[in-house]
A and B are shown apart, each in its own frame.
Chain A
Amino acid sequence: MSPLVSVVLSILGSVGLMLLVASVAIVGPGRLYDIAGELRPRLWNARRELVVLAAVLVASAVGRGALQTVSELFGLRLTGLIWALEGNFVGWLQASFASPALTVYFSWVYVYGYVFLLTFPFVAYLALPETSTLRRLLVAYALNYAIGLVLYTVVFAHGPRNLDVGTSLLFTHNPDVMALTSKVNERTNVFPSLHTSLSVTVGTFAVLTRRTYPVWTPIAVWLAASVVVATMYLGIHWLIDVIGGIVLALGCVALAYRIVDADRPDTGAAGDDAIE
């Protein structure tokens, strides 16, 4: 079995299991049971957002190669500037804290924890009677990807491991994962960190919906923070990429709340006021 296939199967298997457990424990059997009957109208309700997200993902998958070429020819070459600004922060982070146990943990978080973090809110918000949270999440995801793609094209930069600032702990620890990341990402797409921005997006949503899913909030915030640290700990992203990712995430959540209105004032879309 090729490394790619085995990595993908392993992700599907374990994330599927995590989703199952989390759905029962966090969403609860009652709400899950409701989904069965309400699935069709809720998805129909969120059709525009789903189409937009799908369109962005397809455009990203199809156009990435061509945009990469544009980036290589005309993009701003910022690796040197980023390194000049932040220096060996990532190397220092690794030198100060790296341990085999942490490497295992952050490698797991970066691949498995991240996929779970991004997929679970979809289930959780689909289980809510009102679809505005779900639609806002979808719009926020789409915005993250779309803006990320534009920035990837404008900025041509390599990550710290490619400048030998720190080592590539993820790929040295688990080279098979690289078969997957090289398929879904270009190595010059470092600014901003989409791992960071999508995780922070989910974390922000979890905080905003803390009244609905109080158990999920600390889990999501912990996982999101872990992914953010993992991107740097593993030598994949610069601190500046991460800061860019956080700014992008907060901007996208704010925009999503502005674009998608709440369904009805009476439903439990807690914390709507937090952003607006």
Chain B
Amino acid sequence: MTRHVSRRETLAAVGLAAASAGCLGRARNIVGRDRPSQLTLEINAIPADADPNGIRIARHLAEHLGAVGVDARINTLELTALQRKVFVNHDFDVYVGQFGETKPFDPDALYALTHSRFVAEAGWQNPFGFTDLDVDELLTRQREATDGREEVVADLQRRLCDLQPFSVVAFPDAVTAVRDDRFEGWSSRYPLSLGGLLGLSAVAPDESPESDTGGDNATDSDDDALGEDLRRNETTDESATGVDIDLPDGTDDGDTDDGDTLTLVTTDGRITENWNPIAVEYRRHGTFSSMLYDKLAVADGETTIPWLAADWVWVDDETIEVELRDATWHDGEPVTAADVAFTYEFLRDTSLGETETAVPSPTFRGRSTVVEGTSVVDDATVRLAVGDANRAVGERALRVPILPEAIWRERTDVATIAGMELDTETTEAVVTNNRDPVGSGPLRFVEATAEESVVFERNPDHFLVRGAIDVGETDDGSTAPDAQSGSTDDLVDDLLDGIPKRYHGKPAFDRLVVRVAPSDVSAVQAIADGLADATVSNLGPDAVPRIGRSPDARLVSGRSASFSHVGYNTRRAPLSNPRFRGVLASLLDKALLAEEAFDGYATPATSPLAASPEWVPPDLEWRGDEDPVHPFIGEDGSFDADAAQTALRDAGYRFDEEGRLLAEDP
């Protein structure tokens, strides 16, 4: 009945019909109807060299889509191109990706991800084009609720799991290969976060002849070894400078014997080209950005600790007053309250009102919408108006990178290529590579070779260093922890108040070199060969066993909150239909994917908040091997294509006689 007829046959039929008078009207009625064709879906993913896990999810989905009669095409593209396509141009059907946050996050992260007010904006904010009034309402309520926020957040998750603007697949473990001979204290949870890298301490060079006298009583505890660390760093600082002059190209060869250089390898070369903290196509988790640009507050374990802010107080229910530490930008200018006020205004509109419609920053969007206004009290004090936001949401808004006004105010013009305005929707600030970034963070930019390496150095003017030097001077070399806290409380209060001791005087390295490796396997090889200290990017099943085989490398893994997911462009039919997306979600055998695509280094999940289990209601918890909302159609890894087609038929979709799923519009 619905046999496909070629165009020529159709024309012949029309000719015949026209010839036989009277049938013309009927022929028009038939030919005038659009004939449905097979549904095509493009699945965007990054190649296995860059992310060995994501491509496996893409293939799994493509194979199951093929089995239900969808023409699924995998499109591999580099991460920058993928993020540009998905976040900026919204020109995609389906993508496989990872969420940007690595540490368990507050439910308010879902605000930027799914609120319909962001559908037209470029960036991590609602790339799905998802619009649901109930979700909007719940998102607003969880921001304002103080009592009963759990219930609102639970309802929000239920609604999102039901509607599936994206399908959470699993929470992968961040698997990292490290070696301990130069630096120790690799945190097992987030070794490559700001806190993880700052928490490292240099291994005392016991074997080396110039080992200083303090070396033998240095202990494993960072706190106890503080004095030693400092003196060691002070002396080696100078020797390292000497070495730099001797070996200006020390980044190009394999010589990383210098114990004060921390070398990381990554398969993601973007940090060698772009240092713009708000350039969404170039950032994954923002680890290096957070070392260049201080935030007012940072997450540390379960709590938020003051960072560039010395402290903050809630003046009333709608206002936070932030007191800044004494800090300077990398160019020597002081960090002032005006910079903070500027940053929040700038993140809301990077054109600062110069364009007709605001050009908001493509990152930190959820946080920047919390702060409705700012007022500078004095050079070191600024007040943030946060409206009805509750405490958790208000304090989350403190975690944005503070930018120097003097530099970024120059970047508010509409972006141009050779003087031509191609797109009035973006500003110079969003597209600049931010060469020679000037931040206030514990690291300063030194040099970079595109797609090869980038070198940062320790910022000696950072409050972590200056604060600890003050302690060291009055400490007179004695390292007893009680002596420190007894005699130097005042100084510590000035500069390091509220900062855990393990960060005092850090980083423990003078230079941080990030090298680009062509694949996860060669990244692990670089660790085994002693050419680097840790891997940064995802490691796949081919790379992980190599860690065990090399005696000096060690595997560190911890649960990441950066969930792997399949995102749908809900602007496009049939992905606009939540029933269709629900069936797509049940094409994913999450338990199998966690086991095989991630080699067991992942936990399947339903809710995007599964990394913070306290927020997940019992009915959304992953139980056994089954997704509680959209269970996999099939059993024990074998997919039941007939059942999936039945589910699609029940949802109103049609198939031709060859079992191909027909698109609604051709």
B75 CB to closest chain A CB (Å) equals: 5
CA distance in complex: A81, B49 (Å): 20
Decide if B47 touches A84 in the complex (CB within 8 Å).
no
Interface contact A179-B56, CB-CB below 8 Å: no
Across the interface, do A81 and B531 meet the contact criterion of CB distance under 8 Å?
no
Most A Cβ at <10 Å: residue of B49, B524, B526, B531: B49
In this assembly, does B253 line the interface, its C-beta being within 8 Å of a C-beta of chain A? yes
Q: Is the CB of B52 within 8 A of A164?
A: yes
Cα–Cα, bound, A105→B522 (Å):
21
| Bound Cα distance from A220 to B133, whole angstroms | 69
- With both beta carbons as reference points, the residue of chain B lying nearest to A165 in the complex is identified as B59
Of B76-84, B124-132, B303-311, B552-560, the one with at least 4 CB within 8 A of chain A: B76-84
Cβ-defined partner of B55 (8 Å) among A2, A5, A164, A168: A164
Residues of B in contact, count (CB < 8 Å): 29
Q: Write the B37-68 contact mask toward A (1 if CB under 8 angstroms, else 0).
A: 00000110001110010011001000000000
Nearest CB of B to A17, in Å: 26
Q: Given A3-B522, A84-B73, A168-B542, is A163 in contact with B48 using a C-beta cutoff of 8 Å?
A: yes
Asked if A181 lies at the interface with its beta carbon under 8 angstroms from chain B, I say yes
Nearest A residue to B252 by beta-carbon distance? A2
Bound complex: CA A168 to CA B520 (Å): 11
Give the size of the chain A interface in residues (CB under 8 angstroms): 31
The answer for the CA separation of A178 and B515 in the assembled complex, in Å, is: 14
Complex formed: what's the CA distance from A84 to B59 in Å?
11
Contact A179 B542 (CB under 8 A): no
Question: B519 contacts the other chain (Cβ, under 8 Å)?
Answer: yes
CB–CB A80/B529 < 8 A: no
Closest Cβ of chain B to A220, distance in Å, is: 30
Complex: A83 Cα to B73 Cα, angstroms: 8
- Minimum distance in angstroms from B615 CB to a CB of chain A: 33
Q: Which residues of A contact B78 (CB under 8 A)?
A: 72, 188
Tell me if A179 and B522 are in contact (CB < 8 A).
Answer: yes
A80 CA / B42 CA spacing, docked (Å)? 8
1/0 per residue, CB under 8 A from A, across B282-294: the answer is 0000000000000
Q: Which of B42, B48, B74, B522 contacts A178 (CB 8 A)?
A: B522
* Contact across chains for A158 and B47 when beta carbons are under 8 A apart: yes
CA distance A82 to B253 in the complex (A): 39
Instruction: Say whether B381 faces chain A, with CB atoms less than 8 Å apart.
Output: no
Task: Give the residue of B42, B75, B525 whose beta carbon is less than 8 angstroms from that of A176.
Answer: B525
Given A79-B75, A167-B542, verify A2-B531 contact (CB < 8 Å): yes
Residues in A whose Cβ lies below 8 Å from that of B75: 77, 79-80
A164 touches B48 (CB 8 A): yes
- Residues in chain B near residue A157, CB distance under 8 A: 76
Task: Give the distance in Å from the alpha carbon of A175 to the alpha carbon of B212 in the complex.
Answer: 38
Chain B contact residues, majority secondary structure: mixed
Is there contact, CB below 8 Å, between A187 and B522? Answer: no
Alpha-carbon distance A276/B56, docked complex (angstroms): 48
Residue of A nearest to B43 (CB): A80
- Residue A210 interfacial (CB < 8 Å): no
Q: CA of A158 to CA of B76 in the docked complex: distance in angstroms?
A: 7
**0 or 1 for each of B247-262: is its CB under 8 Å from A? (1 = yes):** 0000001100000000
Query: Is A162 among interface residues, defined by CB-CB distance under 8 A?
Result: yes
Most chain A Cβ neighbours within 10 Å, of B47, B56, B525, B529: B47
Within 8 Å CB of A179, what residues of B?
Answer: 518, 522
CB distance from B418 to the nearest CB of A (A): 16
Q: Is the CB of B521 closer than 8 A to any CB of chain A?
A: yes
Q: Is the CB of A187 within 8 A of B49?
A: yes
Q: Which residue of A lies closest to B52 (CB)?
A: A164
Q: In the complex, A72 Cα to B75 Cα: how many Å?
A: 12
Q: Which of B76, B522, B529 contacts A79 (CB 8 A)?
A: B76
Decide if A172 is an interface residue (CB 8 Å cutoff): yes
Chain B residue at minimum C-beta to C-beta distance from A6: B254
A161 at the interface (CB under 8 A from B): yes
Interface members, chain B 9-63 (any A CB < 8 Å)? 42-43, 47-49, 52, 55-56, 59
- Interface: A108 (CB within 8 A): no
Cβ-closest chain B residue relative to A162 = B47
In the assembled complex, how far is the CB of residue B602 from the closest CB belonging to chain A, in whole angstroms? 16
Say how far A63's CB is from chain B's closest CB, in angstroms.
16
Docked CA distance A189–B78 (Å): 13
Q: A2-B254, A162-B76, A163-B76 are in contact. Are A175 and B48 (CB under 8 A)?
A: no
B521 contact from A156, A175, A181, Cβ within 8 A: A175
Tell yes or no: A171 within 8 A of B by CB: yes
In the complex, A83→B76 CA distance in Å? 11
- Name the A residues within 8 Å of B43 (CB-CB): 80
* A182 beta carbon closer than 8 Å to chain B: yes
Chain B residue at minimum C-beta to C-beta distance from A235:
B48
Residues of chain B within 8 A (CB-CB) of A188 are 78
What is the CB-to-nearest-CB distance from B261 to chain A, in angstroms, rounded to a whole number?
Answer: 15
**Chain A: minimal CB distance from B513 (Å):** 13
Nearest-neighbour CB distance to chain A for B574, whole angstroms, equals 19
The answer to whether A9 has its CB under 8 Å from any CB of chain B is no
Check A66 for interface membership: any CB of B closer than 8 A. no
Q: Render B568-595 as a binary contact track against A, CB cut-off 8 A, 1 for contact.
A: 0000000000000000000000000000
- In whole angstroms, how far apart are the Cα atoms of A182 and B518 in the complex? 6
Chain A residues 117 to 172 lying within 8 A of chain B, measured CB to CB, are 156-158, 161-165, 167-168, 171-172
Q: In the bound complex, do residue A175 and residue B56 qualify as a contact, i.e. CB atoms below 8 Å apart?
A: no
Contact A81 to B76, CB < 8 A, known contacts A158-B47, A175-B525, A179-B522: no
Taken together as a complex, chains A and B put the C-alpha atoms of A221 and B567 apart, in Å, by: 49
- B47 and A187: CB pair below 8 A? yes
Whether A77 contacts B77 by the Cβ 8 Å rule is yes
Residues of B contacting A161 in the complex (Cβ-Cβ under 8 angstroms):
48-49
> A80-B42, A168-B542, A182-B518 known; A162 and B74 CB under 8 Å?
no
A184 to chain B, nearest CB (A): 11
Tell me if B74 and A83 are in contact (CB < 8 A).
yes
A181 CB contacts on chain B under 8 angstroms: 518
Q: Are the CB atoms of A168 and B519 closer together than 8 Å?
A: yes
Q: Does B529 lie within 8 Å of A3, measured CB to CB?
A: yes
Which of A157, A164, A167, A181 lies at the interface centre, i.e. has the most chain B CB atoms within 10 A of its CB? Answer: A164
Indicate if the CB atoms of A72 and B74 lie closer than 8 Å.
no
Most buried by A among B55, B77, B522, B526: B522
- Complex Cα distance, B253 from A3, in Å, reads 10
Complex formed: what's the CA distance from A188 to B78 in Å? 9
Instruction: Given A164-B48, A178-B522, answer yes or no on A2-B77 (Cβ-Cβ < 8 Å).
Output: no
- The yes or no answer to A274 lying at the interface (CB within 8 A) is no
Q: For the complex, is A62 an interface residue (Cβ under 8 Å from B)?
A: no
Contact at B518–A163, with CB atoms within 8 Å? no
Q: A72 touching B521 by the CB < 8 A rule?
A: no
Given the known inter-chain contacts A3-B529, A158-B47, A162-B49, please indicate yes or no for A178 contacting B518, CB distance below 8 A. Answer: yes
A172 touches B521 (CB 8 A): yes
B22 to chain A, nearest CB (A): 45
With A80-B42, A164-B56 in contact, is A172–B254 under 8 Å at CB?
no
Is A36 on the interface with B (CB-CB < 8 A)?
no
Nearest opposing residue in chain A for B524, CB measure: A175
Contact yes or no, A163 B525, CB < 8 A: no
Residues in chain B near residue A163, CB distance under 8 A: 47-48, 55, 59, 74, 76
For B49, list chain A residues within 8 Å (CB): 161-162, 187
Are B518 and A162 in touch, CB under 8 angstroms?
A: no
Chain A residues whose CB sits within 8 angstroms of the CB of B531 once the complex forms: 2-3
Q: How far is the CB of A157 from chain B (nearest CB, A)?
A: 8
Residues of B within 8 A of A158 (CB): 47, 76
Residue on A with the closest CB to B63? A88
Taking CB atoms and an 8 Å cut-off, the chain A residues in 176-228 that contact chain B are 176, 178-179, 181-182, 187-188
A1 at the interface (CB under 8 A from B): yes
Q: With A80-B75, A81-B73, A157-B76 given, can you name 4 additional A-B contacts, CB distance below 8 Å?
A: A3-B531, A80-B42, A171-B521, A179-B518
Could you pull out 10 A-B pairs where Cβ atoms are within 8 angstroms?
A: A3-B254, A80-B73, A83-B74, A84-B71, A162-B47, A162-B76, A164-B55, A168-B519, A171-B519, A182-B518
Q: Which 5 A-B pairs have the closest CB atoms?
A: A80-B73, A162-B47, A182-B518, A2-B254, A175-B525
